[in-house]
């Protein structure tokens, strides 16, 4: 049993809830040896890059974090945008990396899937990126009305990049996002900011709309600015509360969450030990906290969980969770 200090918040009077629909934002192929240990060096997995459409019933007063969100109408939020719809829209070095992830499938991706389901791209109010890797940021320029929200440190990664020896996937487009519509959350270490609070097993979470429906969760380790999204779903008064945590790249293989595998590493051409997570120890801490969350009855969905995709086809747009 979780201690009272780690309980998730009970619903308030007239508690709002959200609906969530998964979207397959393309697929890539991942070698087990770069992600888990022990691993068969020839084993590969064909995985989705998941995005999620979240519909909130609407807020009556401005959000302290995003004061320009519209009021008194339903809000459409996307968590992650998956892969771009066309490889030619990536930077040359990103295309080179993508070629190492064959077979892959990019189209229809998130934008066309939304359009196919009667959802105009200019109706999306907010896009939250778990982090700014190529297989999560998708095609931001197609969303001409949306605000963008990033975790602390993500803008520095976009602007200044990372050393190339950290991996061919660490290539970033400095002008990826429209800065006039982009907000970066403050660091939890910033003493003057009082936005982050403990929740469940996590020391730093943020009640995004102030109504207990959507919580940004600081989950360090993978890349600066990496965040998760904890969402309150409807359940009948007689049923247990329903929560789902959208975990981005906190882990790339469900066996890391269950403890069946450890985080993998590999040697580059210079003999350096590389890891898909920039800070392996912090990534392990984040996974351990997510494991605690599962013990509290929360469903965890990582971006590249092909097993979840296979077992939950009814929860993809136009279906919902």
Q: Using CA atoms, how far apart are residues 23 and 309, in angstroms rounded to an integer?
A: 9
Residue 321 lies in a domain: no
Per-residue model confidence (pLDDT) at position 136: 98
User: 3 pLDDT exceeds 70?
Assistant: no
Residue 4 lies in a domain: no
Per-residue model confidence (pLDDT) at position 192: 56
Q: For residue 132, which phi and psi values (nearest 5 degrees)? A: -110, 25
User: 1 pLDDT exceeds 50?
Assistant: no
Domain residues for the domain of 111 are 16-315
Residue 310 lies in a domain: yes
How would residue 193 be classed by pLDDT, with cut points 50, 70 and 90? low
Residue 8 lies in a domain: no
Q: Please, are residues 321 and 19 in contact by the beta-carbon 8 Å criterion?
A: yes
Residue 97 lies in a domain: yes
Query: Which structure tokens are listed for 166?
Result: 């950290």
How many domains are there within the chain?
1
Q: Using CA atoms, how far apart are residues 145 and 32, in angstroms rounded to an integer?
A: 38
Highest mean pLDDT among 184-193, 239-248, 263-272: 239-248
Ranges 88-102, 121-135, 163-177, 249-263: which has the least confidence? 163-177
Residue 5 lies in a domain: no
Q: Please, are residues 283 and 265 in contact by the beta-carbon 8 Å criterion?
A: no
State pLDDT tens for residues 46-59: 999 999 999 999 99
Per-residue model confidence (pLDDT) at position 22: 98
- CATH classification of the domain holding 263: 3.60.15.10
Per-residue model confidence (pLDDT) at position 268: 81
Residue 301 lies in a domain: yes
Strand partners, 218: 227
**Residue of 74, 224, 201 whose CA lies nearest to 215:** 201
Per-residue model confidence (pLDDT) at position 280: 96
Residue 275 lies in a domain: yes
């Amino acid at each position: 049993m979780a201690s009272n200090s780690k309980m998730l918040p009970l619903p308030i009077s007239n508690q709002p809830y959200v609906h969530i629909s998964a979207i397959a934002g393309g697929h890539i192929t991942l070698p087990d040896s770069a992600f888990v240990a022990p691993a068969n060096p020839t084993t590969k997995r064909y995985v989705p890059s998941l995005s999620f459409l979240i519909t909130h019933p609407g807020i009556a007063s401005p959000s302290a974090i995003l004061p320009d969100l519209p009021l008194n109408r339903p809000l459409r939020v996307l968590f992650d945008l998956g892969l771009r719809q066309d490889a030619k829209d990536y930077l040359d070095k990103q295309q080179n990396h993508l070629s190492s992830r064959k077979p892959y499938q990019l189209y229809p991706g998130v934008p066309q899937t939304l359009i196919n389901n009667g959802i105009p791209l200019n109706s999306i109010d907010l896009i939250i990126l778990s982090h700014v890797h190529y297989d999560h940021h998708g095609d931001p320029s197609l969303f001409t009305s949306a605000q963008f929200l990033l975790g602390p440190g993500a803008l520095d990664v976009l602007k200044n990049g990372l050393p190339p020896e950290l991996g061919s996937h660490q290539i970033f487009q400095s002008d990826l996002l429209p800065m006039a519509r982009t907000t970066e959350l403050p660091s939890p270490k910033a003493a003057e900011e009082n936005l982050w609070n403990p929740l469940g097993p996590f020391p730093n979470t943020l009640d995004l709309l102030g109504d207990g429906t959507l919580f940004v969760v600081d989950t360090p380790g993978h890349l600066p600015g990496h965040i998760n999204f904890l969402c309150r779903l409807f359940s009948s008064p007689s049923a247990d509360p329903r929560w789902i945590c959208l975990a981005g790249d906190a882990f790339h293989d469900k066996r890391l969450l269950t403890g069946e595998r450890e985080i993998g590493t590999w040697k580059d051409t210079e003999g350096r030990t590389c890891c898909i997570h920039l800070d392996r120890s912090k990534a392990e801490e984040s996974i351990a906290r997510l494991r605690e969350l599962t013990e509290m009855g929360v469903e965890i969905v990582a971006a590249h969980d092909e097993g979840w995709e296979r077992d939950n086809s009814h929860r993809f747009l136009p279906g919902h969770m």
